[in-house]
Structure 1
Amino acid sequence: MQRNVGLSNAAAFMHVIRCNMGIGLLSVPWSISLVGLIFGPITFVSFMVVTTSCMVGLAESAQYYSRKVGVPCMDYGEVVYNSILHCPNARLREYARAARIFINTSITTMQLLFCSSYYVFIAQNLRQVLAVYWQDIPEDRVIMAIIWIPLTLTTFTRNLSGLAWLSTIGNILYVSAIVMIVKYLLEHAPLSSDISSMETVRFKEIPLFLSAIAFTAEGIAVILPLENSMKSSENLPYVLSVAFAIITLTATLIGVTGYITFGSSLCTSISLNLPHANPYSDGVRTLLAIVIFFSYPLQFYVPMDILWTVIEAKFQPKNRCCELLSKLGLSTLLCIGAVCLPFLESIVTVSGSLLACPLQLIFPSLVTIMMLNQQHDENMLPHPDPNNGTSLEHQHRDTGRVFPAHFLSTRPSVRLLRMLKNIFVALLGVFITISGLVSAVSSTIQEYQTSSSSSQCRGGVQPRIDDRAEISGLYHSTNTSLPNVTF
């Protein structure tokens, strides 16, 4: 794998922010509503701290194995492959290739699920916006089929440089939409009301909650590509820490104020809870729909590139028409998947438990454990720098790769603490994957049985706040009791 150096710390920081601020951030209020106002935010912040630590450990392992093998850089699958290939257990080494295939398949599948969730998200948000002007607007599945055409056309570009400026505009629009949501929530959150009922911990929902928040840190696949492209890769831990601190604080603020404002009626995306037929709210939903629309070809590019490489190796197509047909077929399958499963909650929780959690917690922890063991066996301590007599860093003479000394620390106490921490995180990841997947499947079955296409969380409409006041005044003026209507 070739190393492409040139990315500054600031650019890497912006990439981390953008890749982890998507649909997952908008689902945090719903996630917190599952388990309560106290347990939810505390657990969410703790989970994000652990996830950041795992990402740093993965980058550390990538540097270690790059130096060990003598290559400029590695992707996620290559790191897992080399960690198993160099372990002392001969039987375990037989599974190195299978582990690499599993990692690459998981990343590809996760990216495809992201793309499928974009159909659901765009359709349901646009449906609420268009319902003001389209009285008999069709259900969200029909809108997914309609937007399939323009979304598929965006994937036909071969060079993504043409979409770079659209991505930049999308970043600005997304930040604007988030600021507008935070402003609305801070202005409308009933902070003076009794919120004691929101503090109750619902233990049976904890697996589903953990699966949902695992979806929030959705940028695990870009960590090593960023590390490979940075001018100063030793600064990646600091870049990740600052970026995820901002993401965590923003998500926690939206989550807490969103839950206080809308209570247990929260939808998976908080944008669907904003008032209907309100220019401000419709502006937020429109901005988010545009951002996700132009993010689709960027997300689609990664799995399509992997699949096209496999197709080229096996079938050796000779013209561009085959590539376009492959993109058309894959985008069509994603649309069909969204139509068959138009529940954003199900996509978030299933992908969070089955894919995001192993990629974020289990495999980074296991790779770090194997790296620490191999460091200990090799007694790989930093060598003095001949220029100044210090031992601040290693530098591979062939690749020019710099390796900070703290990445190669073998102090027994530090190693033991890191081993225990990573064992705990790996076990936690296994628990979330199994229990979360069971809860997610159960929740999906329940959604199929009870969900209605006219519901607010499927992009259905709701009366305006002003209309409620008018209705209430009308009934009081006629001395007629107000019926028990749930909006």
Structure 2
Amino acid sequence: MNDGTSNSDSESSPIVRKKVFGPAKDMEYLRTTYNSILKNTASVRDINPTGPGATLMHILKANIGIGMLSMPNAIQNAGYVLGPILLILMGIIATHCMTLIVTASHHLCALFELPALSYADVAQLSIAYKSKRPWLGQMARILVNLMLLLTQLGFCCTYIAFVAKNVILLIENSGSIPFQYRLIIVMILPIFLLGSYIRSLKYLAPFSTAGNFCYLYSIIVILAYCLTIVLKNGLGPGVQAFSTTPLTYPLFFGNVIFAFEGIGCILPQENKMSNPNLFVPILWIGMVLVITSFVILGVFGYFAFGSNLAEVISLNLPERVMSPIDLVYTVAIVYLTFGIFSSYLVQFYVPIEIIEPIFIRRIQSPKLKILVQYIIRTILVTFTALIPIVIGQIDLLIDLIGACSSTCIALIFPAVIEIVSFWRVRRYCLPFYLWVIKDIIILSIGLIGGVLGTGVAMYNIVLKF
């Protein structure tokens, strides 16, 4: 097939498969698109790859965060009967959507002989591959990157707010003079800055592992405390099997989608694996553990405190050290604070991967490149501290971020990407229509839940202020 290029040009662009598209102008655009992405994928595969164990730790850390601590509030918004059922269902859908992104990435990498792809690369290539329109592929890339930035930076904002409130709780427990919430954020900001300067996931693995064990200890203590409260006092006030307020269900949706906060970290984790073929089984193992822990803590936390639930369940722990057993709760708060801090470092890796290449791509000097990286990280971390200074309520941040940007990243985009990536491959298969119906259902859940959840969350923010 003659597309107007020389043999030498073809040899220098081995990723182009000439029979995929017909018109020469389409081939010219696609060649340019794929080669530009190929240049950017050299740094996607980390020079310090992670093994299965470290990857599992990263997956757990990326999904077990503040969202888990807000699960009792989610169950409260749906009831202790319907809540767990919907939570498990949403967990399965969210995990399935994570695998859709990975599968589409593998398909496109094999099709165009690329080493690895980011979430935005997958969106751009899949849309361009189906539509053959340059502006659609570029718009898809911009939209995915924008939503990833909003989602991941939103997660980081809630983490800083959580750490600040835990520090205040520890100060109050010690009997010291209380500090203002905003002052605490300013005081802990340098610690987050130093952590953000770690530039490889391999070196974040020890923090993830230690953070997971600290988090596990804290969750066990919180769960034991909830069980003690239930056995001693019975069910908390206002506990319901089903929520009788329709407006709470969109909040449940936003809360749960926020809790499955790791989808933005999925491809970065897969791209850093020494053996990427093991990623999907490891992902399902990790997500089964995550969903199970969500249901257990959500139900018993709601049983214990009912309508007296705080923004997150950890803030319901005893406020004063009155006995030796209370020291256990204080240690749990300390460990939990460290666990959330380590989650911040993992989640922060995603916006860094999006923003840094834009500024350092054309910088030749290694020293200048490192300096620019530090400047970018400093600006982003400072931004994630400013937002919780303005909006101090963790639950308001969770509901808004979950319903607005997380829904797009976790549900809407994966369904669209699967349809356009595999349309040419699967449209002649017998179960094709069932496959399309499945993706349309996921799209509908994401669109309806996202719109309603965002509206209710914004309404609650207006009421608070």
Selected match of 1:425 from 411, 421, 442: 442
Letter in 2 for 1:363: F
**Rounded Cα–Cα distance in structure 2 between residues aligned with 1:114 and 1:194:** 31
Letter in 2 for 1:427: S
Identify the residue that residue 20 of structure 2 maps to in structure 1: none
SS in structure 1 of the partner of residue 411 of structure 2: helix
Identify the residue that residue 258 of structure 2 maps to in structure 1: 215
Identify the residue that residue 303 of structure 1 maps to in structure 2: 351
Identify the residue that residue 274 of structure 1 maps to in structure 2: 317
Within 5 Å, which residues of 2 pair with 1:16-165? 16-87=59-130, 89=131, 94-157=135-198, 163-165=204-206
Within 5 Å, which residues of 2 pair with 1:276-291? 276-277=319-320, 278-291=326-339
Identify the residue that residue 251 of structure 1 maps to in structure 2: 294
**Rounded Cα–Cα distance in structure 2 between residues aligned with 1:267 and 1:133:** 21
**Rounded Cα–Cα distance in structure 1 between residues aligned with 2:270 and 2:191:** 34
**Rounded Cα–Cα distance in structure 1 between residues aligned with 2:349 and 2:282:** 25
Identify the residue that residue 382 of structure 2 maps to in structure 1: 332
**Structure 1 residue 417, shift from structure 2 partner:** 1.7
CA change 1:82–1:438 in 2 (3 A) is same
CA change 1:216–1:184 in 2 (3 A) is same
Identify the residue that residue 3 of structure 2 maps to in structure 1: none
* Larger displacement relative to structure 2 (52-61 or 328-337): 328-337
* Larger displacement relative to structure 2 (340-349 or 278-287): 278-287
CA change 1:107–1:425 in 2 (3 A) is same
CA change 1:217–1:185 in 2 (3 A) is same
**Does structure 2 retain, via aligned residues, the 8 Å contact 1:372–1:419?**
no
**Rounded Cα–Cα distance in structure 1 between residues aligned with 2:106 and 2:419:** 15
**Structure 1 residue 125, shift from structure 2 partner:** 1.1
**Does structure 1 retain, via aligned residues, the 8 Å contact 2:61–2:343?**
no
**Structure 1 residue 13, shift from structure 2 partner:** 2.9
1:357 aligned onto 2:407:
yes
**Structure 1 residue 441, shift from structure 2 partner:** 0.8
TM-score (norm 2): 0.81
Identify the residue that residue 462 of structure 2 maps to in structure 1: 445
SS in structure 1 of the partner of residue 319 of structure 2: coil
**Structure 1 residue 372, shift from structure 2 partner:** 3.5
**Does structure 2 retain, via aligned residues, the 8 Å contact 1:116–1:337?**
yes
CA change 1:100–1:260 in 2 (3 A) is same
**Does structure 1 retain, via aligned residues, the 8 Å contact 2:239–2:307?**
no
**Does structure 2 retain, via aligned residues, the 8 Å contact 1:343–1:447?**
no
CA change 1:113–1:208 in 2 (3 A) is same
CA change 1:150–1:72 in 2 (3 A) is closer
1:372 aligned onto 2:415:
no
**Rounded Cα–Cα distance in structure 1 between residues aligned with 2:272 and 2:205:** 17
**Does structure 1 retain, via aligned residues, the 8 Å contact 2:230–2:304?**
yes
1:434 aligned onto 2:451:
yes
**Structure 1 residue 259, shift from structure 2 partner:** 0.2
**Structure 1 residue 230, shift from structure 2 partner:** 4.2
Letter in 1 for 2:95: T
CA change 1:120–1:61 in 2 (3 A) is same
**Does structure 1 retain, via aligned residues, the 8 Å contact 2:399–2:453?**
yes
**Rounded Cα–Cα distance in structure 2 between residues aligned with 1:326 and 1:336:** 16
Q: Which is greater in Rg?
A: 1
Identify the residue that residue 185 of structure 1 maps to in structure 2: 226
**Rounded Cα–Cα distance in structure 2 between residues aligned with 1:337 and 1:370:** 36
Gaps of 5+ in 1: 380-409, 449-487
**Structure 1 residue 290, shift from structure 2 partner:** 1.9
**Rounded Cα–Cα distance in structure 2 between residues aligned with 1:193 and 1:360:** 37
**Does structure 2 retain, via aligned residues, the 8 Å contact 1:148–1:332?**
yes
**Structure 1 residue 330, shift from structure 2 partner:** 2.8
**Does structure 2 retain, via aligned residues, the 8 Å contact 1:27–1:268?**
yes
Selected match of 1:168 from 206, 209, 218: 209
CA change 1:207–1:180 in 2 (3 A) is same
**Rounded Cα–Cα distance in structure 1 between residues aligned with 2:214 and 2:349:** 21
**Rounded Cα–Cα distance in structure 1 between residues aligned with 2:355 and 2:441:** 35
CA change 1:122–1:142 in 2 (3 A) is same
**Does structure 1 retain, via aligned residues, the 8 Å contact 2:50–2:202?**
no
CA change 1:328–1:228 in 2 (3 A) is closer
**Does structure 1 retain, via aligned residues, the 8 Å contact 2:57–2:209?**
no
SS in structure 2 of the partner of residue 131 of structure 1: helix
**Rounded Cα–Cα distance in structure 2 between residues aligned with 1:264 and 1:81:** 45
Q: What is the percentage of aligned positions where both structures have the same residue?
A: 26
**Rounded Cα–Cα distance in structure 1 between residues aligned with 2:319 and 2:283:** 37
CA change 1:323–1:375 in 2 (3 A) is closer
**Rounded Cα–Cα distance in structure 2 between residues aligned with 1:440 and 1:160:** 34
CA change 1:235–1:151 in 2 (3 A) is closer
**Structure 1 residue 313, shift from structure 2 partner:** 4.9
CA change 1:296–1:193 in 2 (3 A) is closer
**Rounded Cα–Cα distance in structure 2 between residues aligned with 1:423 and 1:100:** 21
CA change 1:259–1:370 in 2 (3 A) is same
